Amino acid sequence: MHNFLLLSILLFNAGVGVYYGLLNGVYSLLLTIALISVIRQARKAKYVEDQLWLNSNETPPVSIIIPAHNEENVILRTVETALSQEYPSFEVIVINDGSTDSTLQKLIDTYRLQKTTLLYRDILKTEAVHSFYYSKEIPNFLVLDKEQGGKADALNAGINSSHYPYFCSVDSDSVLDPRALLKMMVHVIENPVPVIACGGDVRVLNGMNHPEITTNLPELPNKTLPMFQIVEYLRSFLFGRIGWNAMNGSMILSGAFSLFLKDAVIRSGGYSRDQVSEDLEIVFKLQKLYTHENKPFKISYALDAICWTEVPESLHELGRQRRRWQVGLFQACWKHKSMMFNPRYKTVGLFALPYFVLLEAPGAFIELLGFIVMPLAYWLGLLSVEYFTLFLLFAIVYGIFLSSATILLEEMTIKRYPSWRHLIRLLSYGALEHFGYRQLNAWWRIQAIYKFLFTSYTWEYVHKSGKSETKPIQK
C-alpha cells in the first residue's frame, strides 16, 4: 500500500509537470500572437478615421438590444450611454423581462414613455410580449414589456422587434464608450471576410464615475476584489481573446457587448433558452451554421470598442458569477461536442475547443491538488529541490509573468490606465492574485463541474449596486 501511494504521488507529479508545460506553452503562443496583433491594430488605428464612417451613408444601421430583469439600480445608466452613441443610425430596444421591481416604471417616468401598438414579428418563439412603449422625444428608443423567460428569451424578443440588419447585445449593467459601437462596426466594415459576430473589449466599471470614462481617464477601485478582476479582464481579453481571434479560433464573445449579423442569428435558431451562457453558445451555433453552409465568415474581436461593466464586490456574488460562467462553458462544449477534433471546424475544432475541454476544464482539479500533493511529496523526500522549484515556476512565477506582460502590453498600446500609480497597483495585484484568489477561482470551478455533472443547475443571479450612476441626457 505504501509503495502504491508513493507511485501514485510520483505519477501525479509527472502529470502535473506535463500539464503545466502544455498549458504554459499555449499561453506563451497566445501571448506572442496577441502582442503582434495588438501592435498591428494600434498602428492601424492611427490611419483609420472614425469620423469618415460616422458621416457616411454606407455605415450599416444597428439595433442595440438591452435585456433587463430587476435592474432598477443600473438600467438608466446603461440606457443613457446607449442613447449617447456617436453613430449615424441606430435604435435602442430595452426588453423588460418580467421584472418585479421598478425597472419598467423608472424607464416610463424618466423618458415619459407611452404605450403604442407595434407590428411584432414572432420569428423566434418567445414568452408573451404584453406591451410596447415609445418616447415622442426619442424616436429611436423602444421598450418591450414581456413575460419572464430568461435572458436568451429576452434577446430573441429584441431581435423580433428590431429593424436593422445588425444588432448589438448589451448587458443591463454595461456602460459604453461614446464611440464603442462605431469602432465595433469599423472592424466589420473593413474586414475582407464577412464578419457575422464581433466582440468588444470589456473593462471594469467599479470605482469610477461616468465623466471619467468619457474623458478617457478611468480610475481604479479601492476594493481588492474588483482590482483582481481588472487584472483578470485584461488577461482574458487582451491576450486570450486577441490570440484566439488572430488564429480564427474565437469561441467566446462577451454578452456584455457583442455585435451580430441578425440574419445569421435567426437562421441559427436564435439564442437557446436551455443554456446558462446563451451568449457563449450562440457562437458555437454560428460556427456550425456557416461551416455546414460552406460560406466564408469571420468571428472577430474589436480591441478598441470599449464597454465598462460592474463586477461583483463580494466573494458570495463573485462565486455565483464564476460558477455560472463555468457551467455555461461546460453546457456549450457538451452540446456541441461533435465539433471536437473535427477538421471541418479548423482552428476551433482542432485547437480551441480541445484546449478548453482538455486543459482549461480539468485545470481547477490539477491546480488545487498540485498545491497539496507537490509540497507533500517534497516533504516526504519524493521530489528534488529542482523539481519542486520548477513546479513553483510553472504554477506561480509564470502566471505572474503572464499577468505582468498583459498589463505592460496594455500600457504600451491602449493606455486606458495611463498613470504610473495605475501601473504599479495593477502589477501588484497581478502578482498577489496568485496567492489565494486564483485558488479560490479554482474551487468555484470545481463546484461548477459538480453542479454540471450531478445537479440541475439554476441561474445564480448577481446583484448590481449601480453606484457609478450617470445623469439622464438633457433633451
Domain annotation covers residue 70: no
Residue type, 413: T
Mean pLDDT of 13-20: 75
Instruction: Please state the three-class secondary structure of 168-211 as a single string.
Output: EEECCCEEECCCHHHHHHHHHHHCCCCEEEEEEEEEECCCCCHH
Classified as helix, coil or strand, 219 is coil
User: pLDDT class for 177, splitting at 50, 70, 90?
Assistant: very high
8 Å CB contact between 339 and 345 = yes
Residue type, 145: D
Our count of domains for the chain comes to 1
Rounded distance between C-alpha atoms, residue 464 and residue 473, angstroms = 22
pLDDT digits (tens, 9 = 90+) for 399-413: 899 999 988 888 777
**pLDDT at residue 99 above 50?**
yes
Contacts of 301 (CB under 8 A, 6+ apart): 187, 198, 199, 200, 201, 237, 241, 242, 245, 250, 253
8 Å CB contact between 447 and 454 = no
Residue whose cell numbers read 464611440: 179
CATH number at residue 311: 3.90.550
- Among 357, 202, 195, smallest CA distance to 286 is for 195
pLDDT digits (tens, 9 = 90+) for 414-441: 777 778 888 999 999 999 999 999 989 9
- Among 65, 286, 306, 325, smallest CA distance to 179 is for 306
How high is the pLDDT of residue 453?
87
The values of phi and psi at residue 317, to 5°, are -70, -40
**In this structure, what DSSP letter does residue 247 have?**
T
Residue type, 177: D
Cell numbers that stand for 41 in this block: 491594430
- Among 183, 223, 197, 205, smallest CA distance to 78 is for 205
- Mean of pLDDT over the chain: 87
Q: How far apart are the first and last CA of the chain?
A: 78
Classified as helix, coil or strand, 421 is helix
Give the 3-state secondary structure percentages of the chain, helix then strand then coil, rounded to 5.
55, 15, 30
Instruction: Give the CA angle between residues 435, 366, 353 to the nearest 5°.
Output: 110
8 Å CB contact between 244 and 250 = yes
Domain annotation covers residue 377: no
Classified as helix, coil or strand, 167 is strand
Inter-helix orientation angle 315-335/278-292, to 10°: 20
Domain annotation covers residue 56: yes
Residue type, 418: P
8 Å CB contact between 114 and 134 = yes
pLDDT: which is higher, 234 or 97: 97
Dihedral sign for Cα 341, 342, 343, 349, please: negative
**pLDDT at residue 92 above 90?**
yes
pLDDT digits (tens, 9 = 90+) for 316-362: 999 999 999 999 999 999 999 999 999 999 999 999 999 989 888 88
pLDDT digits (tens, 9 = 90+) for 127-174: 999 999 999 999 999 999 999 999 999 999 999 999 999 999 999 999
Domain annotation covers residue 10: no
Cell numbers that stand for 334 in this block: 457538451
* Prediction pTM value: 0.90
**pLDDT at residue 28 above 50?**
yes
8 Å CB contact between 54 and 87 = yes
pLDDT digits (tens, 9 = 90+) for 209-222: 654 455 456 788 99
How high is the pLDDT of residue 475?
35
How high is the pLDDT of residue 391?
72
**pLDDT at residue 469 above 50?**
no
Contacts of 244 (CB under 8 A, 6+ apart): 30, 250, 251, 347, 352
Domain annotation covers residue 470: no
Q: What is the dihedral of CA 407, 411, 413, 418, to 10 degrees?
A: 140
Domain annotation covers residue 98: no
How high is the pLDDT of residue 18?
80
Buried b / exposed e along 134-143 (16+ C-beta atoms within 10 A): bbeebebbbb
How high is the pLDDT of residue 430?
94
Domain annotation covers residue 91: no
How high is the pLDDT of residue 66?
98
Rounded distance between C-alpha atoms, residue 442 and residue 395, angstroms = 13
**pLDDT at residue 301 above 60?**
yes
8 Å CB contact between 33 and 244 = no
How high is the pLDDT of residue 420?
85
Structural domain for 268, as ranges: 30-60+165-354
How high is the pLDDT of residue 286?
97
Domain annotation covers residue 180: yes
